[in-house]
Structures are given as structure tokens and as C-alpha cells.
Structure 1
């Protein structure tokens, strides 16, 4: 049979998502059949073939530990370790040891004892100390003494110029010595105290403001440090810093407004608009407009960045930053509960996208909130916001075409994703059918009572935080960057939901997850969000979904005549009763400064007598099996994600990753590192 291919390189008549899922499954099968190792000898062979060196001393104990926990051992799983450590092979080991010894905060391992050293109290450091103690206290684990410097902030700390890192990596030449020339014992740290007695190390941290003599120029955009860390020729490096975004007087050009930076066509590097390469998707160097569209770049919460290259462990790493990744503190805490995740089957889950969360990432929200990714997500899944965006599609003003009321998103003008839901002006009703999304806190930077915020209440209602059990009752969730290591992705996968993932961060587990098989990758602008939802959920709209607070008529008369969807309560199901449409009198009341949305909190947990409150009854009606959707494909991703998370994202897998990482780090800081290795399998030949 000959299958005719279209211009995009996949069979005609096949949806891009179907093609991406098929490719992902083939890649996974290849990985499991060809790459997985089942013995110590095979694991050592795979190591030498991929790394060009002998495994580090203690590799046999590491493999035994992994095997005893029934871990999946695939050499590719640890690629991130070698990418992170590669530059430090060109540094003098004694310098690395001294830097680690004098740095604070840090964790130290001495004679299998872990101690935290810091000038302040850092909860994350204490959790990491607990993680390491859990590892070293195992009688079958032996780790050499070492000092481990940590970044305890929730934001990246090392943005080193690309040329510096590239030179360091190029100078590191792997050597595969004859087994008779290999030393199998680490040197230890007995002399580090003496060596570092008079040693000082200043990372020269850079903050959010320029210092004298440039202090008059205003704030220091994080992007001014991101750009030099990107490779030459990348869009970020070739482009400019949009300094006017951070102009002290607020004089930002219209070209750099949030909606002006959003795409007008399908994203580059995708398959007809759908993410094809996760590494590219999270790479901000390929998407310079993210400097004005993501809180991590617009206004970091605690900007503290060095441009020097030195070993620094942490759980936050951008594609161009130089931290050494380690499983996150919150991931470690939450992983204990994975075994207790819901056992609900796919048919028991409501066919809706569900999200609850606070506003995170980015300070000074009064000025910048329209640029924050979570505000964009919630706006895009708010029927009233979408209705206004639809109404502006054919407006004569180019700057406002397809722009939502909150000016956080805009619809593509030509329906480039061929959304059936967007034809005939039905997108808002469809969004109301498919999504249940709300903030639980608006993170206001003003003195207010409760969780509202004067400059946001006009646009967003808030819900009370949902019980975790409620989250398991939905089939689709979004994992959007939260500003900390979160652990949300691991939890979502383990609970058997389709997890739509948008991020600018690398994680320790990226190389062990396959996009479009274990989760659904989405663009950081969310431009592909509707296309993905429509593919899986279909296009049916119930009569109930047609009733939501409409605002188009009022907005055409006055832009402030608007009311967001507000509900008095939500039942255990997480579903809501819709309010009546906003009246002119209510709109006028809002316009005069007393927003009806501001005092309303959605209670998603406490049944109040509003019908329906029987979740099983409601739930059955929600699994509508839309003939235009692809429920079986969604179920496959949910099932594959859960099954794989239970195999490779356990607490034990985090420890196995850390064990391997620390063996490699101990070798890099050892004066005899070029000769250190494990060759027992070769000496037995």
C-alpha cells in the first residue's frame, strides 16, 4: 500500500496530532526494545558507548541499587546530568572543590553524614538534605565526601555567556583509558579545609536594578542576561531587548504590548502548529517575544543572577542557563503521595479541562499582569473573554483584531488551526463547555481583604482551592509554570489525566518522558490550546454551555460594561451553576468602582444544595463521547502517562538520579578524575 504524503511530510488526511502520537509511540518502542539495559555489563557498555569514558567508581553499587528498586535503566535517562556537568571538565578540580567548600548555602557529605550549611533558614535546602539522607543511609549506598552548593531560589541563577560555556565544553576531551591504567578510588576531601583557608569566592550576583554609573537607566531586564547566554544565530541573540517594556515611566511602544507580541500565524518549528520538538518548545532562545509574555522573564520574583560559571545545583533551569539539575524539593515531598493517587478509570473522569491555581511568577502585577502566562491561560478559557475576542475578529483596528477583553490573548485572525468551534462565532460557547478554570488567589500587590484585587476583579473571579480528590475527577489538566519546582506534572501523570504541558524550564525527567505519548506539549503562548482541545474533546456544545455572562453588547457601548463569569458556589464535582447575564444596571454599578465580580468566591468543595450535587450523576452526563473528538487518543495518553510515571518518576527514581549525579560530580572535583573509573567488568574478561 502506498500512502500519499502531503506537503508537511505526513500522510494526507491525517491530523497532525495523530501523526505526532504515532511517531511518539514508535520512538518509545524503539527505546524500550533497543536501548534498555538489563544487566550491569550491558549498562557499563552503554555508558562507554555514549559517554566516551569509563563509568565512575561505584557504578556497580549504583546499578545494584537501581536494580533492587526495579528501575528502568536506559542510558539516555541521564543525559541531563552530562549536559550539566560537561563544562566543568575543563576547570581545575581544586578550584571546584574550594568553590563548593566556601559557598553558602550548601550540603556537605562526610562519612555518609549529610549536613546543611547556610546563613539563613531555607526550607528547600532542608528538604534536599532529607533527600540525600534517605539515600546515604541505605546500607548499599556509598557516596564519597563532597560539598554541594545550592540555588535555593525558585528562579535560575546562572546565565553565563554562550561563548564561555561553549569554550569550556570544547576543552573537555573524554578519555577511555586502558583498564590497567584506571584508578577505582576517590581521593576524598581531607585537604579541602586547608586549601580553602584563605580562599574567597564572589559570584558577583546581579539584581533587578542596574548599579552605578548606570543606575539612572532604570531596571535590569532579565532578558539582558538571557540574550548573551543564547547561541549565536538564535532568534534571541539576533534580536533585541525590548527595553521599553521596563521603562521607568511606563512608555512602552504599542509594538511591544502583550498582545502585539503574540503570534499571528502558526509557530515556527512545529507540525502545522503543533509542538514537534519539546527541546525547541521550551527554548526561550528560539522565542524572543517571551521576554514580554512570561512572568519568569518580565518580572522575576527574586532576581539574583551570576554570569560566572561555577557548579551550582538547583531545580530551576532555563534552556540557556547553567545550573546542575536535581529533583525539586516539592517533587520529593509530593512523590510520597503518588501511590495514593486516584484509581478512577478514564470513563469515570469528567471530559473537561480543569485547572485551579494561584497567580505565580512575576512581581509588580499591577503593571505587568497582562504579560503573565497564567493570566493568559485563564482568559483564554473564560467564555466571556473569548466572546469579546471573537467579536473583534473583523474589527477595522488592526491592533485589536481578535484581542480578548483583558488584553492578555488574541485569536489568530484566519482560524489557522481550522477550528470548527470558531466558525459561526461558537468558540465562546465551546470553551464554556470544555473548560473549568479559575484562579484561587490573584496575588495582589495592594492592601486588600481576602483574595481579590482591585485592578483584576473586573476580569477574574476566584475560586476556593479545590480538594486534591476533585482534581482526579477530570480528564484533562494544564501544567503551566508555577514559579517553583511544583511537582504538578508528576502528580498529574500519576493520576491518569491527559496533561497538557507548557514550560520554559528543563527538568531532570525530560529525557525519560516522550511528548505526545506521556503528555501533550503546548506552546508557551497557548496559541495551539484550542486546536488540541478540539481534537481530543470534539465540538459538541450542550444547551447549558450556551448560558454564560454575555458582554458583547455592553462592551460595544462602553469597554468597562463587563462582568466575568461568577458563581456563588461549586459542588464537589467542581461544576458550576451559571449566573444570569449582566444587566445594564449591574454594569453601571461595576463601572462606578464596585465590581460585582470582586466579592465572589467560587466554593468548589462545599455542597450547598444547588443541583446537581451528585457527582456520579453529573459525571455520567459529561462523558459525552463526542463523535468529532478523539476520546480513545486522549485515553491512550492518560493511560500511558500514568503507567510510565509509576515506573520512572517514583521517589526511588529521584534517588537513583541523584546517586548517579553525585558519583559523577565527585569524580569531576577529584584531582585524579581522568584516571578514575569503574572497570571491573573489563578486568573479568
Structure 2
């Protein structure tokens, strides 16, 4: 290796080629190639044998440290220090033996630690790849007897497989999937309620366990507010951590600079908190912006009760405008916000040909099992063609902007706030048995996107819902029967014509006239002609007579969900929008989650809605979920609950923008203690 003789270019190329081949091979292949290509000089071998015989040292084979060497001619020459090299060899051998013993001891210790580790199934907690991971509570062991996870990351519930938040129906099962989904959801909800912190000390410990850092300053004031106002689920604020985690990689100075720049935007307004007082200002023309004056007032009213406990800070909130300025050199497209291994990033390989929507094929039926996993657009490329917010969009990928928004998808880096539009306290409602309308109700405008012939607007969620539930053509619907007996789902499935099912079960129509559409290219006219519009508006009392109501996203989040929950109807909800309460409400216990393609809608209705041809439907369970949803809204979606969320968010925000974040950590003291009951 240190020879002074220069080699020819051919030799160097050959050696480099061989070295590259060796490096790209496995260890076993390297060893085999070296054995096959090694050519031992016969003169050197004979001389070495004669020397070894003379020295009578049979314990060692020839090594680079042997006291025999030769020059390039092949002639042997005596080493000047044979004893020295032999000593080096013995020392090396001794150290190898010592290191081998130490390695075995270390491996044994590692195995013992693994065997002694607690069997906490943290692997079951599965967050989206682009989100920071938080751990589940370990105060109460999860009931996973009916749920087993397989090696590929999927799981089973009963004998139905769950992957990426979707339960795939096993047609040969004798257990209806909605029964196991409801049972599993009840166990999850009971466990979540039972594990909540009762004291400030417990809340601090839980915070550290989940987020691996101290709570922010003012955490004791926030805790006191939750105790005094009986705020439920005080540990369930993971959404705040998800939203703020990316900004911890930005320096406070740069973050404050971005806040100042965002405040100049024509699509934001700014809240200033100074010495307990909250003011707002904006640069947009409030006369041309919907809710341009009302939203700042609503946000001030939400935090005014706790403003005296908040540090001075600047908060920029989005008004929901769309920025059409596109940087031609920027990376564009939703797939670039996803891991390269995700289905959306590889959507070119997404196979639609084999997709079965479950409306007419029993082996294609599926239901939402995990709403957060289902909202993960990276794993559900089909949503790109089912939601107006995504259809035809190719947004610019930018650095996270420190802006609080009232709505977003899982791919957006906005910080989620709380909209107060259409929030109600809830009044008296009819009893379940007094509701005379058993059709599924939906009324609303055709919002969801801008409609013109340059985009595939017929695939947007509200247009598809109207088209599906007012279908008058030929076709057959296959639904799972809630009354199986000992039959499999395949054997007990029922068929109905599409028009007959819609006439019996659905009351779904647009209201008013077509909106957000292009009149010049005839799109508005086509929507008015081809889709069902109701004549006149439905009053509140008339709507309360319906047992079943659908809620579906519009341009963004559905502002009516709070009002619908308090109505006491059973709510079927289709959304891809995570909201501030997503971790605090339980699908299948407080409402029925529906996929954005609505392929599971008829099966869900058949399971809950009894009729002359479906007498075994779960009417009592429908009433229970409707009642639980109303009770949840009245106790978990109060103004105090929204204020508690924003209180904690702004404490976190104040620490994040502080020049010395560590100095803004909370330090617990027993004299701060308050206990929840």
C-alpha cells in the first residue's frame, strides 16, 4: 500500500474496478471473490514453508506480521525484528479475545433489559409520517384483545382488517363491522376519560411524558381555569403540539420577522395582547371580505376572560384568502408534502381499475375506523379527486408560516385555531321517538370549490352527494344486513334498486341557486339543471323532526357541526379537516364517520334506520349515539372549552416566540395545586 513503485494506468483502472465491485457486494460475496481471485506466488509459498519448518513455529500461519518477507524478485529476506512482530501478534490476539468476551457480556445485558421491559404496546400508536409523534397514556392499559396488529402495520378488529384508518369488510364474517367499531370506540372513549389528570402535578407529568419538555409559563393559571370551569379532558391537546412542533426549528428572531411579514398580508388580521388588553387591526378592506370585522371581534371575545394571564404577544390569523402568486422555481403539488414512500407521492402507480366502491360489490365495502388516519391524505390519494379543496390544486410548497387558521387539512402547516361561526349553546329539542321524519336530511349550498369547465367539479363532495342521493337511473345497491343470525355478511346482504333506496331513505338537496360558478361557460346553468334544488328554505323546527342528518365539508370546515350535534339527531359526518376538538370527541360514540366518497352511507343508514323491510336495524343504538353527541356538545363544546384551548395555545405561542425559550418553562410548586373532581 505504501510501495514507491508507480503502477500503470491499466492496473489502476483494474484495481479501482475491482474495489468498486467488492464494495458493492455483501460481506460473504467479498470473501468468496477474494478467495477465488487470490493467486499465491509458488516461490514465496515454498520459501515460507521451508522457513516455518526450520523455526518450528506451527502455532501461526503466515500473516503480515510474520518474520518472513520477500522483495519484488521473489527472493526471501530475513526480517530484522522477528521477536517484535511475534509479540505484536500475541498482544493483538489477546485483545481480540478480551473484546469478544466483552461483546458477549454486552449482548447478554441487552437481552436481559429487553426481557425485563414493560409490555406497553406503544407501537400501536400511529401518527401520520409528517407529524411529530406523541405517546399514548400508560396509566390505563389499552384493551387490545379484539385488536391485533400485523407485521405490515395493518391491524384486525374482530375478523376485519384495518389499514390506514379504514376497516375493510370481510364478507365471510358473521359479525357486522359496525358493531365491533362501536364496541371498540366505547372502550377507547372510556379509557381516555379514565386516564385524565386530576391534579396539576399529574398534568405536568403527563405533559412531560407526551411532549418531552416542560409546560410553558402560565400552565398553573391555565390549569386553574380548567378546574374552575369544569373543562373535561385536560390532557387532550395533542393538536397544539402537532401544529407548533415544526416552528421549534426556526429561531425566535426569524419567527418574529415572519410574524411581522404575515401581518402585512391582505388575507390576515392581527391580534395584539398587551398588559391584559386585546386589540385587533388589519390592512384588508372589510367591506369586501366576508366576516372581515366579525371574526376579529369573535376571537377577542374568546380570549378576553383570560387575557390578563397571557404574556404580551402578537398573533396573526388567516382570513382564508387564496394566494395566487406562484413562484415558478418553487416545488409545487401536494405529493411533495408527503413521504416518498406514501401512496400520494407515488400516485402515478395508484391503480383505480381494481377499486370497488362498495355500493354494489360486497367485497369492496369499507368504513372509517380511525378518523385521523383517514384524514391523512398522503395515504389516501383518492381524496384528491373527492374534495373540492384538493381537486385540480397544485399549491406551492413553502416554509411554515406562523399564522393561525380556522381550518386546514393534515398537509397544511397552519396553526389550528377555533372558529366561532354558527356556534350555539343548545336549546330544547324533541325526543327521539317524537321525530316523525326518518329520512336522511341535508340542505346546503353548492359551495366546495369554484365551478367552471376547466376543473373536474363533478367530483367535488357536495355535487357527488346530491347526485348519488337523487339518482334516478338504473342500478342496484347492495347493503349489509344488521340481522345476520348465523349467516355471513355475504349470505345476509340485501339488494335494492338505487332509485327505490333514495326515494325511501334520502332527503338531500341544494338550497337557493348555484354559487361560485362560471356563468359565461354555462356551468351555473348546468348545475341548476342537472342537480336537485329545494324550493324554499327549511325552518329550524322542521329540521328538528328528522332523526338522521348528514354533515359534509363545504369550502373548508363545516361550521354547522356544532349546531347539528346539539339538535339531538344522529349525525353522519364526512370530512377531511382536523379540528381543535378532533382528539376530544369519539367517532362511533358521538357521531357516525362517513368516507368522503359516501360509499358507506347506505350501509350505515341500513344499520341504524329500521323500516318495514329492515326491522332489525339498531334504532336504540342510533338514539344512544344521537343523545351522546348532543350531551358531548353541551359539556365539551362550551365557550369555556374553546377558551381553555386558546389559552393553552397562546401560552405555547408566547414561549415559542420568546428570545429565550427555556426561560419561559413552567416550574411546578405544591402551593399551586388545584384538584379536579
Normalised-by-shorter TM-score class = 0.5 to 0.7
Please say if residues 333 and 397 of structure 2, whose CA atoms lie closer than 8 Å, have aligned partners that are also in contact. no
Which residue does the alignment assign to 2:212?
Answer: 52
Q: Kindly tell me: are residues 67 and 446 of structure 1, through their superposed partners in 2, closer, same or farther at Cα, counting changes over 3 Å?
A: same
Q: Kindly tell me: are residues 107 and 262 of structure 1, through their superposed partners in 2, closer, same or farther at Cα, counting changes over 3 Å?
A: farther
Which residue does the alignment assign to 2:277?
Answer: 113
Please say if residues 93 and 668 of structure 1, whose CA atoms lie closer than 8 Å, have aligned partners that are also in contact. yes
Please say if residues 293 and 525 of structure 1, whose CA atoms lie closer than 8 Å, have aligned partners that are also in contact. yes
Q: 1:130 aligns with which of 294, 297, 300?
A: 297
Q: Distance in 2 between matches of 1:118 and 1:3?
A: 53
Equivalence map 1:94-109=2 (5 Å): 94-104=253-263, 105=268, 106-109=270-273
Which residue does the alignment assign to 1:345?
Answer: 431
Q: Distance in 2 between matches of 1:359 and 1:151?
A: 23
Q: Kindly tell me: are residues 506 and 369 of structure 1, through their superposed partners in 2, closer, same or farther at Cα, counting changes over 3 Å?
A: same
Please say if residues 405 and 415 of structure 2, whose CA atoms lie closer than 8 Å, have aligned partners that are also in contact. yes
Residues 1:359 and 2:523 are matched in the alignment: no
Q: 2:656 aligns with which of 668, 674, 682?
A: 668
Which residue does the alignment assign to 2:187?
Answer: 26
| Structure 1 position 634, deviation (Å) | 0.8
Can you list the C-alpha shifts for 1:490-528, whole angstroms capped at 9, x where unaligned? 111111111111112111110001111111111111111
| Structure 1 position 13, deviation (Å) | 2.6
Aligned residue pairs total 489
Please say if residues 359 and 375 of structure 1, whose CA atoms lie closer than 8 Å, have aligned partners that are also in contact. yes
Which residue does the alignment assign to 2:410?
Answer: 319
Q: Distance in 2 between matches of 1:316 and 1:125?
A: 16
Equivalence map 1:478-517=2 (5 Å): 478-517=550-589
Can you list the C-alpha shifts for 1:372-430, whole angstroms capped at 9, x where unaligned? 1111111221151xx42339x9xxxxxxxxxxxxxxxxxxxxxx98697862x434212
Please say if residues 447 and 516 of structure 2, whose CA atoms lie closer than 8 Å, have aligned partners that are also in contact. no
Q: 1:439 aligns with which of 505, 510, 517?
A: 510
Q: 2:499 aligns with which of 404, 411, 428?
A: 428
Residues 1:234 and 2:342 are matched in the alignment: yes
Equivalence map 1:149-548=2 (5 Å): 149-153=316-320, 207=325, 224-240=332-348, 263-264=356-357, 273-299=366-392, 307-328=398-419, 332-335=420-423, 337-340=424-427, 342-349=428-435, 350-366=437-453, 368-384=456-472, 387-390=473-476, 423=495, 425-440=496-511, 441-443=513-515, 445-447=517-519, 453-454=525-526, 456-538=528-610, 540=612
Which residue does the alignment assign to 2:160?
Answer: 8
Please say if residues 655 and 664 of structure 2, whose CA atoms lie closer than 8 Å, have aligned partners that are also in contact. yes
Q: Kindly tell me: are residues 672 and 371 of structure 1, through their superposed partners in 2, closer, same or farther at Cα, counting changes over 3 Å?
A: same
Please say if residues 420 and 539 of structure 1, whose CA atoms lie closer than 8 Å, have aligned partners that are also in contact. no
Which residue does the alignment assign to 1:658?
Answer: 646
Q: Kindly tell me: are residues 18 and 662 of structure 1, through their superposed partners in 2, closer, same or farther at Cα, counting changes over 3 Å?
A: same
Please say if residues 400 and 414 of structure 2, whose CA atoms lie closer than 8 Å, have aligned partners that are also in contact. no
| Structure 1 position 234, deviation (Å) | 1.1
Q: Kindly tell me: are residues 38 and 354 of structure 1, through their superposed partners in 2, closer, same or farther at Cα, counting changes over 3 Å?
A: same
| Structure 1 position 126, deviation (Å) | 3.8
Q: Kindly tell me: are residues 298 and 241 of structure 1, through their superposed partners in 2, closer, same or farther at Cα, counting changes over 3 Å?
A: farther
| Structure 1 position 211, deviation (Å) | 6.7
Can you list the C-alpha shifts for 1:659-679, whole angstroms capped at 9, x where unaligned? 100000100111221232222
Relative to the length of structure 1, the TM-score reads: 0.65
Q: Distance in 1 between matches of 2:421 and 2:370?
A: 30
Contiguous gaps of at least 5 residues in structure 2? 1-144, 148-156, 162-169, 479-487
Q: Kindly tell me: are residues 421 and 453 of structure 1, through their superposed partners in 2, closer, same or farther at Cα, counting changes over 3 Å?
A: farther
Residues 1:37 and 2:234 are matched in the alignment: no
Which residue does the alignment assign to 1:577?
Answer: none
Q: Kindly tell me: are residues 353 and 446 of structure 1, through their superposed partners in 2, closer, same or farther at Cα, counting changes over 3 Å?
A: same
Please say if residues 185 and 589 of structure 2, whose CA atoms lie closer than 8 Å, have aligned partners that are also in contact. yes
Q: 1:82 aligns with which of 241, 261, 267?
A: 241
After TM superposition, the structure 1 stretch with the greater mean CA deviation from structure 2, 509-518 or 128-137, is 128-137
Can you list the C-alpha shifts for 1:101-156, whole angstroms capped at 9, x where unaligned? 3322322222222232322125556444324432453278411111112221177x
Q: CA RMSD in A?
A: 3.6
Q: 2:632 aligns with which of 634, 637, 644?
A: 644
Which residue does the alignment assign to 1:200?
Answer: none
Q: Distance in 1 between matches of 2:294 and 2:354?
A: 39
Q: Distance in 1 between matches of 2:146 and 2:249?
A: 51
Q: Distance in 1 between matches of 2:307 and 2:272?
A: 20
Please say if residues 421 and 427 of structure 1, whose CA atoms lie closer than 8 Å, have aligned partners that are also in contact. no
Q: Distance in 1 between matches of 2:343 and 2:451?
A: 28
Q: Distance in 2 between matches of 1:643 and 1:373?
A: 29
Q: Distance in 1 between matches of 2:244 and 2:208?
A: 17
| Structure 1 position 455, deviation (Å) | 5.0
| Structure 1 position 227, deviation (Å) | 0.7
Q: 1:66 aligns with which of 191, 209, 226?
A: 226
Q: Distance in 2 between matches of 1:69 and 1:439?
A: 40
Q: 3-state DSSP class of the match of 1:351?
A: strand
Q: Kindly tell me: are residues 116 and 299 of structure 1, through their superposed partners in 2, closer, same or farther at Cα, counting changes over 3 Å?
A: farther
The structure with the larger Rg is 2
Q: Distance in 1 between matches of 2:519 and 2:625?
A: 44
Q: Kindly tell me: are residues 437 and 504 of structure 1, through their superposed partners in 2, closer, same or farther at Cα, counting changes over 3 Å?
A: same
Relative to the length of structure 2, the TM-score reads: 0.65
| Structure 1 position 456, deviation (Å) | 4.1
Q: 1:633 aligns with which of 621, 624, 641?
A: 621
Please say if residues 114 and 129 of structure 1, whose CA atoms lie closer than 8 Å, have aligned partners that are also in contact. no
Contiguous gaps of at least 5 residues in structure 1? 156-204, 215-219, 243-254, 394-415, 542-625
Q: Distance in 1 between matches of 2:193 and 2:499?
A: 43
Q: Distance in 2 between matches of 1:69 and 1:351?
A: 38
Higher relative contact order (CA 8 A, sep 6+): 1
Please say if residues 430 and 539 of structure 1, whose CA atoms lie closer than 8 Å, have aligned partners that are also in contact. no
Q: 3-state DSSP class of the match of 1:334?
A: coil
Q: 3-state DSSP class of the match of 2:160?
A: coil
